[in-house]
Amino acid sequence: MSLLHLAIVSPLLLAVIIPTFSKSIRQIHTGWFVLPLPVVLFIYFLSFIGTTSHQGTVYESFEWIPSLGINFAAKVDGLGLLFALLISGIGALVVLYSIYYLAKDKEQLGSFYVYLLLFMGAMLGVVLSDNLIVMYGFWELTSISSFLLIGYWYHREKSRYGAQKSMLITVFGGLAMLGGIILLYLMTGTFSISEIVAQSDVVLDHNLLIPAILCFLLGAFTKSAQFPFHIWLPDAMEAPTPVSAYLHSATMVKAGIYLVARMSPVFAESPVWLWLVAGFGIVTLFWGSFSAVKQTDLKSILAFSTVSQLGLIMSLLGVGAAALHYDGIDDNVFTVATTAAVFHLINHATFKGSLFMVVGIVDHETGTRDIRKLGGLMHLMPITFTLAIIGAFSMAGLPPFNGFLSKEMFFTGMVNILKLDLFSLSTWGLLFPVLAWIASVFTFIYSMKLVFRTFTGKYKPEGLKKKPHEAPLGMLISPVVLGSLVIIFGLFPNILSHNLISPAMASILPSLLSPGDIFDVHIYFWHGPTIELFMTIGVVVLGIILYLTLPKWERTYDLLPEKLTLNKLYDKGLEAIQSGSFKLTRFYMNGYIRTYLVYIFAFFILILGYTLYKKDAFVIDTANVSSIGFYELVLSLLIVVATITILFAKSRLTSIILLGAVGYTVALFFVVFRAPDLALTQLVIETVSVALFLLCFYHLPKFKKEESKIPFKLTNAIISIGVGAIVTAIALSANSTKLFDSISQFYVDNTYIRAAGKNMVNVILVDFRGFDTLFEICVLAIASLGIFAMIKLRLTRGKEG
C-alpha cells in the first residue's frame, strides 16, 4: 500500500482506535487526539500542488479483485486535489471547533469522532478513487456515516427523522449511480475513470448513453440536494453544528458536484447532459433562495441557502459544458462558467463554513436559533457579528469579498449562454440569466435577514435560554480562519488561479487542452461598465427595497398550500409504502406455517415444472439403472406405509414413532448399499431427532384434531403429489441426462493420493469441502450462541419478574 492509499484510509484506521482513547483518557477531550490527523493530511496534500499546477497527476494502484477489473486505484489530479484539500482543511477546522462546542462530560465523544472520521475517509476515497466500483463503495460509506452523524442526538425524534430521510434519498441515488457504473462498464469494458474518459467517443455514440447519464445524475442530484431531492438537507440540520459546517457546506453535499465535474469529460458533449445539469441547477438555485427567505430558524436559512448555492455551482458546470461545442480556446467565452464553478466551490466552503460556525456560536451562547427571539446581539458578541457580516456579505455577492467575484463570473456565464446557437439555447436559454438574477435578489434578502435580524434591532433577553456573551477563543479560531480566507481570496483571487482553479478546470475540460497547455485563469474586480455589473447593482437596489419591506410581503409564502409541498409528498409516500407493505404482508403472512408451505411448494412445482417442460428436460434412460432387489422393495414399501400412516395418526407420540421409523428405514438402505458410515450417521441423527421431538412435544398443549374443510385437504393432496412428482421427475431426469462426466471418479482417483485418506466420505467433508464444513460448523456455533442468549435472557427476566 502506497503513502497515498494510507492517507485515504488513515481516518478509517483512526476511527477504529478512537474508542480506546475516549474510554481510557476521559479527562482530555477526544478531539485533541483526532485533530492532528486532518492537519497532517492537509499538509500532505499541499505537497501535490507543484505537480498538479503543471497538469501532472499522481497515480497509485494495487490489485484488489483483478478478475473483475476492480483495483484500488488512487489518482491525484487538479480536481481531486482541490476536494482533498477542502476535506482535510475544513475537517481540521471543524474538529478544532467541535472541541469547544461539544462538552466532553455531556456528549458521547467517542461515537461522534468515529462517525466523523468514517465520513472524512469516505469522502477522501470518493474524490481520489480512479475506479468506479471503489468510488461507489466510498460513496455509500458517506451516506452511512452522514446518517450516523445526523442522527447523533438519537434521543431527538427530529434527528432520527432527518437521518432516515437523508439515508433513503441519498442511497436511492447511490443505487441509481451503481446502475450507471454498470452501464459504463458494458460500453467500455472497464471501471477505470481514466480509461473511460479515453473512450468518451465510444460512450457518446452508444445507445446506452442516455440511461447512463440519467443514472449518474440521479446519484449526483440526490447527494448534492438538487431540486426535487433537496428536501433531505433542511431536516439534516438537526445534526450538531460542527456536522452541518462540515457535511452540509464543504464536503458531503459537494460530492454530487464532484461527480458531475468528474464525469463531464465523458458526458458533457451530450446536449442532454448540458440541459439536465444546467436546468436542474438553475431551478434549484431559484427555489432554494426563494425558500430561504421565509425560514425563521438560523440553520434552516443556511440549509436552504446551501441548496441554492449548490444549484448555482451545478448550473455553472452545466453551462460550462457548452465550451466543448465552441471552436477555439483562446476566445472561448464558455470556459468562464467552469472557472466560476470551481472558484465558487472554494468560496462557498469558506463563507458557508464560517456562517454555520457563527450560527453554532449564537445557538451555543443564547440557547436558541429562532430568529424571532434574537436581536441586538451586536454589542454583546462583536467578533461573532463581524464574522457574520463577512460571511453573509460574501454569500450575497458584495465586494470586497470572494463571493462577489464568483457571483460576477456566474452572471457572465449565464449571459454568455445566449451566444451559443445550439440546443435551442438562443431562445429558451434566456431563462438562465433571468432566473439567476431573480435568485440572486432572494440571496441578498436572506443574507441580510440572517445578519441584521440576529445582531441588530431590539435585544430580547426574555426569549433566550442563556445570557449571551462572546464565544471562547477556541470556538472563534475556526470561523476567524475561514472569514480571513473570504477576505484574502476576495482581495487576492489569483493566488488560487494557477495552483487550484486551472488544474481543476483541466480535469473537467481536458479535451480543450493540447498536451502541455494550461487554462490561463485571471480574476479581476473591475471589468468596466458591463451587463454583469448592472445586474449586480439591480440585485442590491431591489434586494434592499424588498428586505426593508419584508414584513409587508413575506405573508405571500402562506399562499403556498402546505399539503402540496415536496415534504408532504415524501411523508405521504412513505406512509403509503408502509401501509401497502403491511396490507400485502398481512395477506400472505397469516401466522400459519402450513399456509407458508403451500406458497413455497406451489411456487416450487410451477417453476420447476415449467422449466422441465420448456427445456424438454424430462428424460428417462434405464440403460445404466441397476435391478431392484427384494430388500430394496421391502424397505421402500415400509417407508411408503409409514409415511402415509403419519397422515392419519391421532397422537403426537404415534407421529413421532412413525417418523422415526422412516428415518431408521433409510439407515437400513445405507446398510444394504454398503455405506456403514452413512448408516451410522443416519442412526445417530435419527435417534437424537426423535429424542428432541419427544422432549419438545411433551411441553406442548394437548393435541386436538382440527376439523378441516375438504377443499383445504384437496389442496394439501395436490401440493403433496405435485412436489413428489416434480422431485421424482428431476431425479429421473438428472440420472438420465449426463451433460458431463460425474465428479465421483475424481474423488476415487485422488482421495488416497492427495488427501492420504481411505474413507472417501470423510475426506470429501474434511479436505475437498473443508471450507464448506467449517462454515457449517460456524453457522451451528452462531445458532447455539443465539439459543443460549435467548434462554439466558428468558431466565434473567424470569428472576426479575
How many CB atoms sit inside 10 A of residue 70's CB?
17
Cα 341 to chain center, whole Å?
24
For residues 373 and 616, which has the higher predicted lDDT (pLDDT)?
373
Backbone dihedral region of 659: left (phi > 0), alpha (psi from -120 to 50 degrees) or beta? alpha
Tell me which residue of 117, 179, 109 sits closest to 142, measured CA to CA: 117
Burial class (CB in 10 A: 0-12, 13-18, 19+), 454: buried
Q: What pLDDT is stored for residue 704 in this prediction? A: 57
pLDDT category, 755, cuts 50, 70, 90?
Answer: confident
How far apart are alpha carbons 797 and 801 in whole angstroms?
6
How far apart are alpha carbons 651 and 703 in whole angstroms?
7
Q: What pLDDT is stored for residue 192 in this prediction? A: 94
Tell me which residue of 317, 315, 309, 310 sits closest to 263, measured CA to CA: 317
What single-letter DSSP state applies at residue 324?
A: G
pLDDT digits over 314-337, tens only?
Answer: 999 999 888 887 654 445 667 889
Q: Is the pLDDT reported for residue 621 higher than 80?
A: no
Q: 117-126, 303-312, 461-470: which range is least confident on average?
A: 461-470
* Mean pLDDT confidence for 29-57: 92
Q: Is the pLDDT reported for residue 709 higher than 50?
A: no
* Mean pLDDT confidence for 138-145: 95
Judge contact between 310 and 250, C-beta under 8 A.
no
For residues 339 and 749, which has the higher predicted lDDT (pLDDT)?
339
Reading the block at residue 221, the C-alpha cell is 442530484
Q: Is the pLDDT reported for residue 221 higher than 80?
A: yes
Burial class (CB in 10 A: 0-12, 13-18, 19+), 616: exposed
Judge contact between 514 and 389, C-beta under 8 A.
no
Which residues, including other chains, have CB under 8 Å from residue 79's CB and lie 6 or more apart? 127, 258, 261, 262, 503, 504, 507, 508
Grid cell 474423488 — which residue?
747
Burial profile 557-570: b = 16 or more Cβ within 10 angstroms, e = fewer: eeeeeeeeeeeeeb
Q: Is the pLDDT reported for residue 797 higher than 70?
A: no
Judge contact between 474 and 100, C-beta under 8 A.
yes
In one letter, which amino acid is 411? Answer: F
How far apart are alpha carbons 156 and 150 in whole angstroms?
11
How far apart are alpha carbons 279 and 500 in whole angstroms?
27
What are the angstrom distances between the C-alpha of 314 and each of 352, 520, 790, 792?
17, 22, 53, 57
Say whether 63 sits in a helix, a strand or coil.
strand
For every residue of 169-204, DSSP letters joined together read: HHHHHHHHHHHHHHHHHHHHS--BHHHHHHTHHHHH
Burial class (CB in 10 A: 0-12, 13-18, 19+), 123: buried
Say whether 300 sits in a helix, a strand or coil.
helix
Alpha helices (H) in 47-130, listed in sequence order: 49-52, 78-101, 109-128
Q: Is the pLDDT reported for residue 47 higher than 90?
A: yes
Q: What pLDDT is stored for residue 703 in this prediction? A: 56
What are the angstrom distances between the C-alpha of 625 and each of 166, 620, 621?
63, 10, 8
- In the predicted model, what is the mean pLDDT of the chain? 88
* Mean pLDDT confidence for 395-403: 93
Say whether 756 sits in a helix, a strand or coil.
coil
pLDDT category, 676, cuts 50, 70, 90?
Answer: confident
Q: Is the pLDDT reported for residue 172 higher than 60?
A: yes
pLDDT category, 690, cuts 50, 70, 90?
Answer: confident
How far apart are alpha carbons 801 and 799 in whole angstroms?
5
pLDDT category, 710, cuts 50, 70, 90?
Answer: very low
How far apart are alpha carbons 42 and 48 in whole angstroms?
10
pLDDT category, 527, cuts 50, 70, 90?
Answer: confident
Q: What pLDDT is stored for residue 751 in this prediction? A: 85
Q: What pLDDT is stored for residue 331 in this prediction? A: 52
Backbone dihedral region of 327: left (phi > 0), alpha (psi from -120 to 50 degrees) or beta? beta
Q: What pLDDT is stored for residue 422 in this prediction? A: 65
Burial profile 198-218: b = 16 or more Cβ within 10 angstroms, e = fewer: ebbeebeebeebeebbbbbbb
Q: What pLDDT is stored for residue 273 in this prediction? A: 93
Q: What pLDDT is stored for residue 125 in this prediction? A: 95
The whole-model pTM stands at: 0.81
Q: What pLDDT is stored for residue 801 in this prediction? A: 44
